[in-house]
Amino acid sequence: MPRLVMWSAPIAACLAAASLPAAAADAERGKAMFQVCVACHSEGPNPLGPNLKGVVGRKSAALEDYRYSAPMTRANVVWDEANLKAYIADPQSKVKGNRMPYGGVKDPKDLDDLIAYLKVLK
């Protein structure tokens, strides 16, 4: 069998798979994951963390009714998708010395789903 024919099918399959869109982020799954975050980021009195409604696109340390740590105040980042992914994956690496006692989310699909939910959280 000629080499070209032998490799045509596997190459075609790889090219077809590469052209498929990536799986869409699942905001409903992200909402379920967010229940862990609610322990600190609630709307109740004296929350441990700031309210995350509208966080996507917001500047760090922007809420006037929350006392942020000095490192978060100095961070001067806009919480776009890339910055949120980096922060949620490893909070201490993204903003060294911040007060969030959280180990981070490592799975890329989990990050995408959680951020998809944060985008609709208003």
- Identify whether 44 is part of a domain: yes
Instruction: Classify residue 64: in a domain, yes or no.
Output: yes
pTM of the model: 0.78
Share of the chain above pLDDT 70, in %: 80
Q: Domain total for the chain?
A: 1
The string of pLDDT tens digits covering residues 50-81 is 999 999 999 999 999 899 999 999 999 999 99
Is residue 7's pLDDT more than 90? no
Q: Which residue has the tokens 């942020």?
A: 68
> What is the CATH number for 83?
1.10.760.10
pLDDT digits (tens, 9 = 90+) for 13-41: 444 443 334 578 999 999 999 999 999 99
Q: Are 89 and 111 in contact (CB under 8 A)?
A: yes
pLDDT at site 107:
97
Determine, yes or no, domain membership for 7.
no
Residue 9 counted as domain residue: no
Q: Quote the domain boundaries for residue 77.
A: 24-120
